[in-house]
Structure 1
Amino acid sequence: MFSLEEFIELASSAYQHLYDFVYLRKHPLTGALDPETAASDKERGWQLHNLLLDLIKELYPGPHAPPYSKAWRRHQLMMLRYVDGLEPQQVADQLAVSRRQYYREHGAAIEAIASILWNSYQEKGDEATRTLLQDEIDRIDRHEAYANLNQVVEGVVSLLSVTLAERHIQLDVQIPHSIPLVIIGHNLLRQVLLGVLGFLIEDLNQTRLALQATMTNGEIHLDIRAEPDLALSPDLVAGRIEPFQKMLHLRKAGLGALEADRQVVGFRLKLPGDQRASVLVVDDNEDMLALYDRYLTANHYQVLRANSGEVAIEMAIQLQPSLVILDLMMPDQDGWEVLRSLSTNPATGHIPILICSVLKQRELALTLGATAFLEKPVTEAGLLAVLDTLEHE
C-alpha cells in the first residue's frame, strides 16, 4: 500500500516523463491504479499517459472562477506545461509569475492531482480510473465543436519532438491550407492523433512518417503511413485503436487501418469538415451574438461566438476564421485592444476584421487595423452587403 506522500512523489515523476511512453510502461502508478488489468505493458503506459492528461482537466475550476485565482492559475499552469508543452519559464511568463512562484503552484497542483489519484486508489479502485477517460470525452464533446487540423498536427508534433528525434524519425506533413475546420473538438482530436502516432513510433527507428490530408465528398481523410511500409498484425491493431475509434464515434468521425497483403500499413482518420466560411463574432451582449448567429447562419456562414476579448484572441489563433466581427465596447479587454492584438499578431494579421459599434469612429478603426466598419444597429441587409464586398476584395 502506498501512502499519500508516496503518491505525490509518484505523480510528480510521472508528469516529468509524461511523453516518455517507454518509461510510463513500468511506472509504479500503472500497477497501483489498475493491478488486475490484462493490458500489455505498452497499453498500460498509454492508459497512464491518458489518465494524467485527464486529471489536469479535473483541476478546471469552472467558467465562473475569477481569472488568476489560485484554482484558475494552477489549472492553467498544468495545461500550459503538460498539454501545450511549454517550458517552465515560458509558463511563468504566460501567467505573469516568478519562477519561484511557478514551482510553488506546480507543487500544489501535483498534490491536488495526487489526492484525486489517492482517493481513487483507496475507495474506487479499477472502476474509478477506467471511467475517468469516458467522462472527459463526454465533457470535451459537449464544449468543443471545431478544430484547425494544421494546428492540431503542429501541436502533436511539438509534443512528440523529443521522441521523434531520439528515434531518427522524420515527418512529412502535407495538409493543404484549403482544408476546412474539422467538426470535432481540438483536444479530442489531439488525443487521438497522439495515440495513433505514439502507437506507430513505439517500434520504429530511422524511418519516415507521412501525414497527408485530402478532401473526399466533404469529408477530410488524414492518412498516416510509415515509409518504408510497416507491417502490423490486424488483430494487434484492432485492440490498440478501439479506444480512439470510440472517441471519434462521439463526433461522427472514424479511424480505420490501411491494409496491404493482409497486414496493416497505416491508418486513415475520417473527419467531418465544415466547408462554410467561418465568422468569429465577438460581443459581450448575448442578444447581439444571437442576432448575428441568426443573420449569418441563414446565409450559410459558420458562426463562432466569443463573449470576451481573451476568448476571441485564442479562438482566432486556433480556428483561423474567414472573418472577425468585433464590438468595441466590452468589459475587461475592450475592442480596441483586441483589434490591436489581432491585427499585429502574425498568426491572425491576415484575417479581415469588421468593426460593428455604436461608436462613430470609422476612420480611427480603419487606421488601427480594421478592414471595414459598420455602425450599430446592424441590419441583415447591411451586414451581408459588407460581407459581400469583403469577399470580392
Structure 2
Amino acid sequence: MEARDEKAVQLPYSQDVFLQLTKDALEHYYDLTHLQNHPFTQKVRRSDDTSKETRGHLLQRDLSRAIDMLDFNQPRASGSSPSRRYNVMRLRYVDQLTIQHIAHELSISERQIYRDLRHSEEDLATILWSWYMEEAAEEEVEPDFDEPAFFEIEQLQTNFQSIDIKRLIFSARSSIEQLMSKRNVEIILDMPQEPVMISTDSFIAKHIFINLMSVAVQKSEGKSVRITVKANENKTVLNLSLFAPSSSSQSLLNDITLALLHRMKWEISQDVCKGSRRNIQLSFGKNMPTVLVIDDFEGLSRLLKRYLAGYQCRVIAATDGISGLALAREIQPNAVILDVMMPDMDGWEVLQRFQNHPDTQHIPVIICSVFNDPELAFALGASSFLSKPVKRDEIVKALHMESVL
C-alpha cells in the first residue's frame, strides 16, 4: 500500500459529477497545469519514488494506469469490444488522434468510436472511483495478511461448482500419504456415507485441506488426527482434532491458509486448545448467496468483489448478455447486477429476457448504469437502480434489500 504524504481529503461528488471530472482529466491529459489544479489531485497516490513529482504528474500517471487496466490481463481478440474500446481510449487521449484518424486506424465508424469512448470513460470512472472514493473503506475490510501473498491469492480465478466434500478430503489425504508414513500418523475420517455436496472451487478447497492435514500431521507427534464432517440443511461443518502438546500455543492456520479460507468465504468457527488437544472447526454454507455481475467491463466484477469482501457471498461475472442469461439459468444467483451498455445484446434486452423466462423471472435484477433512467429500469422489471460509478454503500444497501447480505 502506498503511503500518503498528507491527510486524505474527502471528495463529496455525485457519480454524474465524478464522471464529468474523469472526462475533464482525460481531455487535459497532457496539460499538467490544468491537472495540477484538478480536484482529483487531492487523492492521488504519492510514494517514495514519486516524492519529487508534482500532483499533476501523479494524476497523469493514475490516468495512464487506469487506461491500461481497461485491457489488463484480458486474453481476447483485438477486434472484440473491450479490446477495441481500450484501443479507442488510448488512441484518443494518450496518442491524441482525432476521431477521423481513429476511425481510419481501426476501420470502424465514427459513430462506433463515440459509443466506445462513452463506455470506456464510464469504465475508467469506475476504476478511479474505487481508488479515490472507496480506498479507505476497502482498507477497513481487507485482512491483515502478508500483502504480496494475499494479492496473488486474490488474483486466483475461482470456478464454483457443486462437489462432494468427501471426495476433496479423500483426494487431499492421498496427497500427503508419504508424509503420514514418514511421521507414522494416521488420519481417521468420520463422514456420512451419502455424498455431502457443497458449492466451492474444488482446486482451492483441496489445497486448503492438504495444508490443514499436512500441518496437523507434522504437529501431532505420532498421534492420530481425526476429521469429522457433519451436514444439515443449512451448512456443513468440518472438525479437525489432534493431540499436539508442544504446539498448543501456536495456531494451526498459517497466513496462506487463512487467506485461502477468506477467499472461499469459509467461516472459522473454532481454533481452540483444550489441554494438549487441538480442535479446528470450519463451516461453510451449502447455499452461499451468489451475485452475478453482467458487464462487459470485467473491472466492475473485481471492484464488487472488494466491496463485498467482508460479506458471506460470492461474486461471479459474465461479460455479455447472452452468457449472462445462460449462467443465470444454470447457477440461479440470488441477485444480478446488470450493465446497460453492452455490445450485441444491451442490458434493457437482457432485463426483458430475465422477466420473460420462467427460470429467471424470480431473480432480482439491479441495473447499474451510467444512464440515469431508473423509471425505465423499474418499468422493465428491475428491482433497484444504481448509477455508475457505483458506491460501496449503495451496492450493500441494494443487496440487503434483496436479502442477499
Q: TM-score, normalised by structure 1?
A: 0.33
TM-score (normalised: structure 2): 0.32
**Higher RCO (CA < 8 A, seq sep 6+):** 2
> Which structure has the bigger radius of gyration?
2
